[in-house]
Structure 1
């Protein structure tokens, strides 16, 4: 069976390879545009062979820049997979995420009532600047004395973020309707979101933290989403206080920020595994309270994905591993801070490397280039299927204070990750490989 080849520059038409006769699905040609943990995992996968950029590939772990330049100019065979949906920014750009969530909440209120719409109240009051500057000012004046946080809509790792309490600090984003289009273009500033700062975060040892959780979407039509059991809490290196809003080491938990702190200790790291956090919270607040908290976090994943389901361009060749950032307040209410299309895969410690390696191995298991799954699995490694064109449920549970016995979602975030045992049971060995 012949294969078409790529010709010309990066924007020329690309035709993915057809499989040769007798070439089993265990042979996968991959291309990888990153040089961190994912490169190690792909290199170690049995039967997978790395190819150069201009060669034919079956699997592409690319950055979003490559996707935007090449996807629309490519013809892909049935079996080919790429690690991004073409307009993933509808969920991962801060302004578009909020825009889609607001629209979804209005739709729910109109079609299902206020109680159902209230289940979307998990993101802080947010305005896009400069477009919504005057709306923001009205809200700002209604909440005098509150702290706000400014974030560039398309940057990551804490870059460009600052806190403020005075309008004079954001005059650069004031939209002046009296200027001409040419003047506005000449003086155009980068788009930001202004967001109510969560002034009462849940603290451990006086320090603020947020959660990094991984959700894998393999289809938007119908929506099919998996939640990974492992993740981590990222801590600030400095005790929390609102007395100084200029200290980024107090307020920003991004590892890229914290590792630049003068007292940062790379041996100690600034992370807890989610299992450790769940044990801590359970010991302090009880199992029922923590179960309710994690159900609320599940709700954030599902509602946010449903909010973009109709606008994401679904493609059978695409999947997406999202990194969700969740903040808890003192009342154990979870807040969605942002969603990342390219969550950092660079490890900050050996424990972090092992967790991310397992996460990526299991992502490849779910994507299943080798064709070893039946499509009916509810668990693959550390991933649990939480939505498959509707909620996926697991065993019935009962807590006295929660009322009658009820089904609960098929998610085990922060619970024991029995991935090795599960994979031995689930997956057939690769050709020439013995079962462990």
Structure 2
């Protein structure tokens, strides 16, 4: 007589059969992996519980038995299996699971035996996976390992080991200042969901101006910023590191330790667990990424670089402490905030015949409020006027000597736009220099007889785009660094480039203890720097902007801006919010991990004096 099964027995049979068909792999430390770890229960309905660890008490009875047996035989032989959500809610779609790790479920008498005709796949050894779902191409496996390695090393440099508890993240991106570009690049990262209306319940908020209400919901870092040596012996500094792909992104001593790690035999060194990461950094901590882990593209106190008066005052203090003259880096400058400052300014310049440019002292950009005056009397009359903000407070002004002998490009004035990036992750503040930039040209030939024509004197896109000659000489009024290098010779360009880079570093040092004073857990800000060169090739910092223009005006910026923002996301967002495991090369967002941001400032390598002025740089 044919034996029949009860409905309960049949469901159990179906459950066991589908579980057994999942791909298997071996992982060194299942508790320190990315992704959800669902708890399967008999009565669960469309519900997933998150297990925070792999302790035996939290495993199902049949899993506990397997764990006990495996520990008695071989403690290092942990075979794992990919599983998804509850079987009852997903049914057959469980074959496309959300990625998580749990110990293997033993086969039973209802399990369908594996066909002998199927070729056994290689075991997982740190890079390679077995199972039909995983692509076995060597190129895919290497790319996957390199991405995971890159994320680990960026996070190690910030003293954290990322443990994600969610499979996707949410972002809100404002529409202003080419927010569509940022949104498109985020959408390419398939583990991000871009929402339009919700700004409070998102992981990532990108806006043109600082959102203080969002920032105050971000916790302050628990990590004490320490001078981390990454366990490097002094005699190991002779190792050549310049050819390493991350050499410009990470501290030198970490690169050396990475080289030593990568020389070890075997491929498993490219995927690091928490214990291995501790070998690099004594102060590393597990940082759990949840649906409430937030990051914003602006920092508290960004006006200490972004406003013209604070930039001048901070650099003045820094250079004076280091026995340097601030006016070797900035044009002659006065900050006018009241009648006493105005009187001192008038006395200093009583008998001089200089052209002056007057700028708002507070946070402005895109050429707003800038005026040029022929002499000191015109400046005096302007400053004596009634200038107030909307809240009734008096405006302050930066009065700067106008550079009357600028280096010209085909008889027209130009400036140089560069970018720097500030990051504050886990209490470690870093500053990066972007290695590319571009030249912004004016639309009219330079002359000093018509100071009221902004098309001659101001090179901002926000001004020049209204000129009838915009794009007539250069497409989008832009030229690349390479074109400019040929124009002034490579030697002169290198001289200018190094001076700009040094001034950028000085800005980070000058505002070291002022930017992001509470050291929020995850913060960053992209600044735009404007430089000018005179006909003697002296390099001058003109201003620093907190909301640099990201518009793709002209063919040069059509390629430049996506690369800039993508490099920023690779450096700041992707390592903190890593993608879940994936199976095929179609899921790769990028193949190249090279990045044009270069680390020039690291707060853990700096020393401060009693006045909180940076006096040493150990990078």
Alignment of 1:106-185 (within 5 A): 106-109=320-323, 117-118=324-325, 121-131=328-338, 132-142=341-351, 144-153=352-361, 154-166=363-375, 167-174=377-384
Of 431, 436, 445, the match for 1:239:
445
Q: 1:304 Cα deviation (Å)?
A: 1.2
Q: Which residue of 1 aligns with 2:504?
A: 301
- For 1:119 and 1:196, the matched residues in 2 are separated by 14
Task: Judge conservation of contact 1:82–1:317 (CA < 8 Å) in 2.
Answer: yes
Q: Which residue of 1 aligns with 2:413?
A: 208
- For 2:422 and 2:202, the matched residues in 1 are separated by 22
Of 205, 208, 211, the match for 1:60:
205
- For 2:504 and 2:320, the matched residues in 1 are separated by 18
- For 1:391 and 1:350, the matched residues in 2 are separated by 40
Q: Which residue of 2 aligns with 1:13?
A: none
What does the per-residue CA deviation read over 1:167-195, in whole Å, with 9 as the maximum and x for residues that have no partner?
2444242399xxxxxx9999965322111
Aligned residues: 354
- For 1:297 and 1:199, the matched residues in 2 are separated by 20
RCO (CA 8 Å, sep 6+): is it higher in 1 or 2? 1
Q: 1:25 Cα deviation (Å)?
A: 6.7
- For 1:385 and 1:186, the matched residues in 2 are separated by 40
Q: 1:222 Cα deviation (Å)?
A: 4.8
Q: Which residue of 2 aligns with 1:260?
A: 466
- For 2:302 and 2:389, the matched residues in 1 are separated by 29
Q: Which residue of 1 aligns with 2:313?
A: 99
Task: Judge conservation of contact 1:230–1:275 (CA < 8 Å) in 2.
Answer: no
Of 18, 22, 31, the match for 2:172:
31
Q: 1:90 Cα deviation (Å)?
A: 0.7
Task: Judge conservation of contact 1:130–1:175 (CA < 8 Å) in 2.
Answer: no
What does the per-residue CA deviation read over 1:260-300, in whole Å, with 9 as the maximum and x for residues that have no partner?
11222378210011222123222xxxx44332222111111
Q: 1:224 Cα deviation (Å)?
A: 1.7
| Structure 1 length-normalised TM | 0.72
Q: 1:135 Cα deviation (Å)?
A: 2.1
- State the SS of the aligned residue for 1:309: coil
Q: 1:71 Cα deviation (Å)?
A: 2.1
- For 1:210 and 1:305, the matched residues in 2 are separated by 22
Closer, same or farther: CA 58–134 of 1 in aligned 2, 3 Å: same
Q: 1:204 Cα deviation (Å)?
A: 1.1
Task: Judge conservation of contact 1:91–1:97 (CA < 8 Å) in 2.
Answer: yes
Q: Which runs of 5+ in 1 are unaligned?
A: 3-18, 110-116, 177-182, 374-378, 393-408, 411-436
Of 282, 292, 297, the match for 2:495:
292
Q: 1:372 Cα deviation (Å)?
A: 8.7
Task: Judge conservation of contact 1:100–1:307 (CA < 8 Å) in 2.
Answer: yes
Q: 1:162 Cα deviation (Å)?
A: 1.0
Superposition RMSD in Å:
3.4
Task: Judge conservation of contact 1:213–1:228 (CA < 8 Å) in 2.
Answer: yes
Of 186, 210, 233, the match for 1:42:
186
- State the SS of the aligned residue for 2:522: coil
- For 1:212 and 1:205, the matched residues in 2 are separated by 18
Task: Judge conservation of contact 1:366–1:380 (CA < 8 Å) in 2.
Answer: no
What does the per-residue CA deviation read over 1:399-424, in whole Å, with 9 as the maximum and x for residues that have no partner?
xxxxxxxxxx99xxxxxxxxxxxxxx
Closer, same or farther: CA 186–278 of 1 in aligned 2, 3 Å: closer
Q: 1:45 Cα deviation (Å)?
A: 2.6
- State the SS of the aligned residue for 1:272: strand
Greater C-alpha radius of gyration: 2
What does the per-residue CA deviation read over 1:319-343, in whole Å, with 9 as the maximum and x for residues that have no partner?
1111111111111111111111110
- State the SS of the aligned residue for 2:439: strand
Q: Which runs of 5+ in 2 are unaligned?
A: 1-34, 37-48, 52-99, 101-163, 221-287, 579-592, 607-617
Q: Which residue of 2 aligns with 1:387?
A: 601
- State the SS of the aligned residue for 1:203: coil
Task: Judge conservation of contact 2:530–2:541 (CA < 8 Å) in 1.
Answer: yes
Task: Report which stretch shifted further, 39-48 or 224-233.
Answer: 39-48
Q: Which residue of 2 aligns with 1:82?
A: 296
- For 2:391 and 2:530, the matched residues in 1 are separated by 35
- State the SS of the aligned residue for 1:194: strand
Task: Judge conservation of contact 1:101–1:120 (CA < 8 Å) in 2.
Answer: no
What does the per-residue CA deviation read over 1:72-131, in whole Å, with 9 as the maximum and x for residues that have no partner?
35558864321111110011100111011111122212xxxxxxx247721112122243
Task: Report which stretch shifted further, 230-239 or 211-220.
Answer: 211-220
- For 1:94 and 1:203, the matched residues in 2 are separated by 25
